[in-house]
Structure 1
């Protein structure tokens, strides 16, 4: 039967279980080697994506600290121009109006943007209005206004499509005549003979809202990267500082970390440990990012990128890693993993993990935590492979000392308790209260069924006996003693806010039902944070 390590280990010095503990550590190390090898050969990029997603959930970094963190990465050596380009792209997409004034101030630089490029010229300058009720587009408006104000200087450079040109007086009375302007030839003339236009107030004003960025974003990204690193343009760095402060840490991680190579990601992880401030008393058992915060802030310089990729995969991405092994692993690798998992879950007792727990208080904490994570994933693997029927789950509960009541009711609220859960409930409740509860339960069940109706894996059977609508679980629903019999737990992948099942692996561990992902119990991690003795 699967060993869940529920009994509390005895923190005493003895050698009785030395051989058993060594065997478990050996098996875990073999499992680590197999997963590392598989991830290195075909799953490296996916493992990095998993880690970046976990990092994006970190919540203890203040806006000012996140600005300092990303700015430090951006200015580190060697130059991170690809990161700057990605960041500028995000700013252009979300806040182009903050970049527009910088372009407007250096409008003369856009001569190279338009020179020799008819497509860009027509996109920006050819949007003249044919009706007096509508305004010219921004580029066309700048061209027309400058031409009128400086007609003595540039009117002869205007090229017309007709047999003869138009006079300023005629165009002033009939602005639609600008529709006859040969825009491409006119702008080319301005590029050659009217340099004053490119520094003019009229042209500068047309650029202030940043709309011109849409014509060719890549050009402006490259332009600004050069201005950042070669010219050290202060205005651009100010916009970047503001953007890094205003945006959420999650958004920045999801859009910036994914483009880093492994050396750059390692640098970011080194930097982030100095900015973290996790509070052990506020840890959420199911929050993978909080566990990663604790590891990064307490295992400084003890870890490598390979270790973090592995630890994150086995503790926070158990289901994805399981799918990856099944899809990408060779037959030989899968057989070896199956054998190791069986041995890890069948043999031993809670005290087999005691030496590993004690190692968490030594310098190489990360290594011991990886072993615990591997044990957790082995449990996840075994549960997903062999525990599919209600009988198998009940056998698992019994053999691990978990008391339970059967439940035939699919509940959504934590304080609802099934009438069929095996407890002796009071039968003398008022009929009016029962009727009210039934109506509320029917509505909730009906809404839940409507949402899940299309999911074939989530189908339920209806029981209409006694004029009641109970949802019978094909896979099994139970109320467990681990949370005081207060919430229905189902062996199906969780689609409702069920509570987690505490599995004490020191009080030793934590297994989220539905994902069956063992992480580490709050009591143990508190001791680890405080560097106390067990």
Structure 2
């Protein structure tokens, strides 16, 4: 039977020259090589994404620390334009008014935005038609209060400054409109030739671009949607070339307000390899120290401990591999089956079988643990992760029946209770007025007329269901109820204090993680004894 090594061995009672130790160490090295070969080719981007997802579940970083972490990454050299671009787009989407207020103070700079490309510098009266129409053409029949931001700014400025700019308004009709006429019938603005009018303002009315009317129209940040790429580039220049404190204040505030999970999901996935490596080098400084945290309730917590203690000595490749075999066992198994060559699949299967031989004894793993104290910490932890994934693989491939699972529990000292989660009906749940016939079908007394109306349909439904009898359920005629086939059995286990119902689908992942966490606790406890004063 498969040995899960859940009983802590007696430290030191092993022979480091034992052949089983050398054999297991060699097998783990070979398994690491094959898995890494697969991850570094077909599955590299996916494995990186797995690591980012695990990092996003870290909970111990405070809002101030996460702000400092990402700001330090943003300010590192070379300039992180790609990261800054993604972050600015998130701010534009969630808090556009904060950037809009900054643009409003620099409204005069948007004159060039509506002029368009620099190729038109020698023809200043021409503008960018798309930008002009999208921002200024949103006039409403209802008048000023319903005009869009750009149209409202244009109409209000025109009325207030009609002595200097009314002649620059271009109308689509045969003749222009007077201020008095438009004031009484504001819907006349719908006849304004917006593009030609704004081009006239670009050439002859420079006062408009610094006016209060135009500035007010920008404050809610909706201007950012006209050309997001332009404004992203504009703010990147303001951040890195001008180093404007006001923009960095908005960025820092946003980084504090969002959850660490949100930031990781949206920012880490777009980092270049060297930038992700820098993030992994920086993050240990912002995690709680080893004296503050010593828990293993979920995958992110033990990863936090590893990063806080040994992150500085780790490489991105080590963490990608370790995360894949410990936190993403099921996904790694799928990757092997879908992307691995036949040679790789066969080799992994053979290595897993040898690592999980029933002849393995506790001292075999004890030697790895004992000698591992002399290794680099991440090297030992990775070996334990590889052994746990080998168990995951073996459980997924070979354990199919409830009897095999229960035999595994018993042989490895795991207490269990059978769960009735999927029972269709208990004996004491039959309604008081129900009756059962000898065909195994229970029915409730109904009014005769209604019963006859649906009798034919119910008979057809039952005949259809009966064809699936052998696949899904077994009719128990002795007690007049439906019993689930044994293969649908679920269990409550002592591994998690009987808190969750486990099925055979989820057991390989749960048990392999439980093994890894158990071994890791032993190792960390031993390291604390050896290293702590």
TM bucket (normalised to shorter chain) is: 0.7 to 0.9
Q: Is the 8 A contact 1:410 1:471 kept in 2?
A: no
Q: What is the DSSP-based 3-state SS (H/G/I as helix, E as strand, rest coil) of the residue aligned with 1:206?
A: helix
Using the TM superposition, give the Cα deviation of residue 516 of structure 1 relative to its aligned residue in structure 2, in angstroms: 5.9
Contact kept? 2:101, 2:221, Cα under 8 Å = yes
1:52 Cα deviation after fit:
0.2
Query: CA deviation digits over 1:371-402, x for unaligned, max 9?
Result: 00000000000111111122332333344344
Match of 1:107 in 2: 107
The residue that corresponds to 1:390 in the other structure is 402
CA deviation map 1:481-514 (0-9, x unaligned): 65677865432337xxxxxx9xxxxxxxxx724x
Out of 514, 517, 522, the residue aligned to residue 520 of structure 1 is 517
**Structure 2 counterpart of 1:87:** 87
Q: Specify the alignment match of 1:369 in structure 2.
A: 381
Are positions 1:188 and 2:188 aligned together? Answer: no
Deviation at 1:410, TM superposition (A): 2.0
Following superposition, the deviation at residue 168 of structure 1 comes to: 1.4
Counterpart of 1:246 in structure 2 is 257
Q: Which residues of structure 1 form unaligned runs of 5+? A: 413-418, 420-433, 440-452, 495-500, 502-510
**Residue 454 of structure 2 corresponds to which residue in structure 1?**
none
Aligned to 1:314: 325
- 1:128-150 Cα distance to aligned partner (Å, 9 max, x none): 11234952111111001111111
The answer to whether structure 1 residue 231 and structure 2 residue 242 are counterparts is yes
CA apart distance, 1:301: 2.6
Question: For 1:211-254, what per-residue CA distance to the aligned partner results, in whole angstroms no more than 9, with x for missing partners?
Answer: 11111111100110011111111111010010000000000000
Aligned partner of 1:490 among 503, 508, 515: 503
What is the distance in 1 between the residues matched to 2:271 and 2:414? Answer: 46
Match of 1:42, SS? coil
Is contact 2:114-2:131 (8 Å) kept? yes
Measure, in 2, the Cα distance between the counterparts of 1:101 and 1:352: 66
User: Following TM superposition, by how much is the alpha carbon of 1:14 offset from its aligned partner in structure 2, in angstroms?
Assistant: 4.4
CA contact (8 A) 1:377 1:517 kept: no
Q: Deviations over 1:280-303 (max 9, x none)?
A: 45431xx11111101101113321
Please report how far the alpha carbon of residue 348 of structure 1 lies from its aligned counterpart in structure 2 after TM superposition: 2.3
Aligned length: 479
Q: TM-score, normalised by structure 1?
A: 0.83
Given that residues 288 and 316 in structure 1 are in contact (C-alpha distance below 8 angstroms), is that contact kept between their aligned partners in structure 2? yes
**What's the counterpart of residue 353 of structure 1?**
365
Pairwise CA distance, 1:17 = 6.0
CA distance in 2, matches of 1:437, 1:95: 57
1:44 equivalent to 2:44? Answer yes
Per mean C-alpha deviation after superposition, the further-off stretch among 35-44 and 274-283 is 274-283
Q: Paired residue for 2:530?
A: 532
1:474 is the counterpart of 2:487: yes
Aligned 1:288-303 pairs, distance under 5 A: 288-303=299-314
Counterpart of 1:447 in structure 2 is none
Q: Which moved more, 1:148-157 or 1:479-488?
A: 479-488
Helix, strand or coil at the partner of 1:60: coil
- Assess, with a 3 A threshold, how the Cα gap between structure 1 residues 479 and 517 changes in structure 2: closer, same or farther: closer
- Comparing 45-54 with 18-27, which one deviates more in the overlay? 18-27
How many angstroms apart in 2 are the aligned matches of 1:438 and 1:484?
34
**In structure 2, how many angstroms separate the alpha carbons of the residues matched to 1:205 and 1:512?**
58
| 1:355, distance to aligned residue in structure 2 (A) | 3.3
Q: Measured at CA, do residues 274 and 355 of structure 1 come closer, stay the same or move farther in structure 2, by a change above 3 Å?
A: farther
1:409 pairs, out of 417, 420, 428, with 420
Q: What residue number does 2:178 align with? A: 167
Change (3 A) 1:408 1:172: closer
| Cα displacement (A) at 1:18 | 2.4
The residue matched to 1:41 in structure 2 has which SS? coil
Question: What's the offset of the Cα at 1:114?
Answer: 1.1
Q: Specify whether residues 9 and 17 from structure 1 end up closer, same or farther in structure 2 by C-alpha distance, changes over 3 A only.
A: farther
Any residues of structure 2 matched to 1:50-65 within 5 Å, and which?
50-65=50-65
How many angstroms apart in 2 are the aligned matches of 1:13 and 1:474? 41
Q: Against the structure 1 CA distance between its residues 257 and 209, is the aligned structure 2 distance closer, same or farther, given a 3 Å change threshold? A: same
| Deviation at residue 367 of structure 1 after TM alignment | 0.3
Q: What CA RMSD, in Å, does the superposition of the two structures yield over aligned residues?
A: 2.9
Q: Measured at CA, do residues 256 and 480 of structure 1 come closer, stay the same or move farther in structure 2, by a change above 3 Å?
A: closer
CA contact (8 A) 2:280 2:311 kept: no
Q: 1:255-283 CA distances to partner (integer Å, 9 max, x unpaired)?
A: 00011112111110111001111654543
Are 2:284 and 2:308, in contact at CA under 8 Å, matched by a contact in 1? yes
Inter-partner Cα distance in structure 1 for 2:497 and 2:105:
67
CA distance in structure 2 between the aligned counterparts of 1:85 and 1:310, rounded to whole angstroms: 29
2:335 counterpart of 1:337: no
Q: Which moved more, 1:350-359 or 1:91-100?
A: 350-359
Relative to structure 1, the CA distance from residue 203 to residue 25 in structure 2 (aligned partners, 3 Å threshold; closer, same or farther) is same
Which runs of structure 2 are paired with 1:419-434 in the superposition (5 Å)?
none
Deviation of residue 15 (structure 1)? 2.2
Cα–Cα, structure 1 residues 134 and 146, in superposed 2: closer, same or farther, change >3 Å? closer
Of 80-89 and 386-395, deviating more is: 386-395
CA contact (8 A) 1:36 1:310 kept: yes
Rounded to whole Å, the distance in 2 between the matches of 1:171 and 1:482 is 79
Superimposed CA distance per residue, residues 175-200 of structure 1 (whole angstroms, 9 cap, x where no aligned partner): 11111111000000101111110010
SS for the counterpart of 2:286 is coil
Contact conserved, 2:12 with 2:370, CA < 8 A, in 1?
A: no
Partner residue, 1:15: 15
SS in 2 for 1:198: helix
Task: Report if the CA contact (8 A) 1:361-1:531 is conserved.
Answer: no
> 8 Å contact 2:373–2:527 — kept in the other structure?
no
For 1:275 and 1:470, the matched residues in 2 are separated by 54
TM superposition shift of 1:403: 5.3
